[in-house]
Amino acid sequence: MTLTRAQLQRWLPFLAWPRPDRALLLNEASAGITVALMVIPQGVAYAALAGMPLVTGVYAALFPALIAVLFSSSARLSVGPTALTSLLVGASLSPLAIRGSQEWVALAVWLTLFSGAMQFVLGAARFGWLLRLVNSPVLMGFTQGAAVLITLSQLPALLGFTGRSYAQLLRGPPPDLIAVAFGLGGMAMLWLGKRFVPRVPTTMVLVAVAAAVSAAIGYALEGGAVIGKLPSGLPAFYLPGGLTLDQVGALLLPAFLITLVSFLETASSAKVDNARAGKLWNENQDLIGQGLGKIASGLTGSFPTSSSFSRSAITLYAGAKTQWSTLFSVAVVAAALLWAMPLLFHVPQAVLASVVVTATLGLMRPSAFVALWRISRIEAAIALGTFALTIATAPSIYWGVLGGLLAALAHYMYRHLHPRIIEVGLHADGSLRDRHLWHLPPLAPHLYALRMDAELDFASGSTLERAITVALAERPGLTDVCLFAHPINRVDITGAEVFGSIRRLLESQGVRLHLSGLKLPAQQVLERAGLLTPGPMFFAYRTDAETLAALQATSGK
């Protein structure tokens, strides 16, 4: 069978890239170099956050970015190390190994491979919709909690206590004031750069200035905490050793969480990118590309990658139009690995901490909780619970997302188990509204007219049946029941059984059942079940107007 070009482009998106000309290449080179100069120092900082050898942060911006852009549908996503995935690596592996050890690196690589495989399989099977189960309040609560934890983890380095835990601060020597100056000065420079010159790669400028100042004052010779020597050269192929069953079990849940968080990070960037390009977002293809990028990261000895919202925004702001900008970014990263690593020797670790803290402070939005509380107190409580659980369960912070997810699903099920059922009356504007809320008269004497704003299924069926049963008990003279069924767009087997039970109950008590505006999908299910058979006690109408006319005629008899 011969594959068409369209079929090939579906599986190999890079075949659809636009053919570049000189003007396009110059534009893409400018944007790509800008992003590369930002991702190199960020990669080193995020590698420290993940507990990995610092050079692996630069590795994570090389082949993973290249593979991801070749197989993703979104054109201008900046793939590489991010704060959240780096924190998840560090938090997940803390109970299993010593930070920076060979065992730690091997476990981080397995975590990366597991997460990449999960994303690839979900994308190839077109199951991207599964990851939408995490709603906005849960993600917000987790992100805010993770941002707090990241910031706290960087404070010792930022304030001159590098290598010391919080418990050791009171017993140890005084802080390194030069490190404090580097850290706070770095944060100030990054903030000013983002505010006044957003197109300038302020992060790289900061690193270059800090390295020059550090070398000039002999900071490393005086025992100051600096990056130190990083190996030069492109990453080699890395294959981790085997795992025990216990280790596999300990890594699967964190790998799934990294998959989830990575997908949501990608979604936030991809939706913006595709909207500006006027295209629909192909989430499954991006899952495939991101999954392959993670696998490439693992096989070069690095940690999980993701799409960075901030770097993707810089890519758009710098004027990138196509995927070619990522190729230029990758080329700059490769050149840095080959020739520029010695230049990072004198960079103070406090500067790396300032890079991480500045990025995570941008994630902190306490006002989001207040805004959410005004809209929905239940969802605000879920977000706050996720936030608190994320912090309380550190370093096993994935329990925050899982707890929030369970709470959100429980709230979802509660709403479906308790659907909105109202008795309707005719409003002055001609619409059917809640009779009791608007103080409306009944549609007809001895009539119970109701509407259920939900699907008729296993969750809502018993509530509908109970509402009608209660009405029969409380209104002895009831002669008619009318169900305005327009909101019901689906009926499952349990819902059909409930409808049949309601019809038999009403017929047994001599009460007529009127059914108005049933949609075709629901109608077909009830017809196949033999529950819409015409009879002297059952009437079905296509429109509400037809129903109201029939009810008025019935009440006049």
pLDDT tens digits, one per residue of 22-76:
888 888 888 889 888 889 999 999 999 999 999 999 999 999 999 999 998 887 7
Q: CA quadruple 131, 135, 138, 142: dihedral positive or negative?
A: positive
Quick one: pLDDT at residue 176?
Answer: 86
The region that residue 357 occupies, defined by phi over 0 for left and psi between -120 and 50 for alpha, beta otherwise, is alpha
C-alpha distances (whole Å) from 27 to each of 17, 326, 336, 347, 504 are 16, 12, 21, 31, 73
Contacting residues for 418 by C-beta, under 8 A, at least 6 apart: 463
Rounded to a whole number of angstroms, the CA Rg of the chain reads 30
Question: How far is it, in rounded angstroms, from Cα 147 to Cα 391?
Answer: 10
Strands 306-307 and 79-80, by their bridges, are antiparallel
Question: How far is it, in rounded angstroms, from Cα 549 to Cα 90?
Answer: 68
> Letter for the amino acid at 23?
A
φ and ψ at residue 354, rounded to 5 degrees: -65, -35
Comparing CA positions, the residue from 473, 401, 390, 367 lying closest to residue 148 is 390
H or E stretch covering 483: strand 480-484
Structure token pair of residue 480: 């008619």
Q: What is the 3-state secondary structure (H, E, C) of 35-80?
A: HHHHHHHHHHHHHHHHCCCCCHHHHCCCHHHHHHHHHCCCCCCCEE
- Tell me the β-bridge partners of 491: 456
Angle at 457 between CA 454 and CA 460, to 5 degrees: 55
The answer to whether the beta carbons of residues 64 and 294 sit under 8 Å apart is: yes
The answer to whether the beta carbons of residues 459 and 471 sit under 8 Å apart is: no
The answer to whether the beta carbons of residues 397 and 390 sit under 8 Å apart is: yes
φ and ψ at residue 421, rounded to 5 degrees: -125, 125
Quick one: pLDDT at residue 163?
Answer: 62
Quick one: pLDDT at residue 191?
Answer: 92
Comparing CA positions, the residue from 76, 83, 91, 92 lying closest to residue 31 is 76
Structure token pair of residue 479: 């002669």
Quick one: pLDDT at residue 21?
Answer: 83
The answer to whether the beta carbons of residues 298 and 110 sit under 8 Å apart is: yes
Quick one: pLDDT at residue 544?
Answer: 92
Burial class (CB in 10 A: 0-12, 13-18, 19+), 61: buried
> Letter for the amino acid at 446?
H
pLDDT, tens digit (0-9, with 9 covering 90-100), for 433-458: 999 999 999 999 899 999 999 999 99
Helices and strands counted in the chain (H then E)? 21, 8
* One pLDDT digit (tens) per residue for the chain, 557 residues: 455 666 676 777 777 777 888 888 888 888 889 888 889 999 999 999 999 999 999 999 999 999 999 998 887 788 999 988 999 999 999 999 999 999 999 999 999 999 999 999 999 998 888 777 778 898 889 889 988 998 888 888 888 776 666 666 666 677 889 999 999 999 999 999 988 888 788 888 999 999 999 999 999 998 888 999 999 999 999 999 899 999 999 999 999 989 988 887 888 777 767 777 777 788 899 999 999 999 999 999 999 999 887 787 777 777 778 889 999 999 999 999 999 999 999 999 999 999 989 888 877 889 999 999 999 999 999 999 999 999 998 878 878 888 998 999 999 999 999 999 999 999 999 899 999 999 999 999 899 999 999 999 999 999 999 999 999 999 999 999 999 999 999 999 999 999 999 999 999 999 999 999 999 999 999 999 999 999 999 999 999 999 999 998 876 55
Quick one: pLDDT at residue 168?
Answer: 64
SS3 432: strand
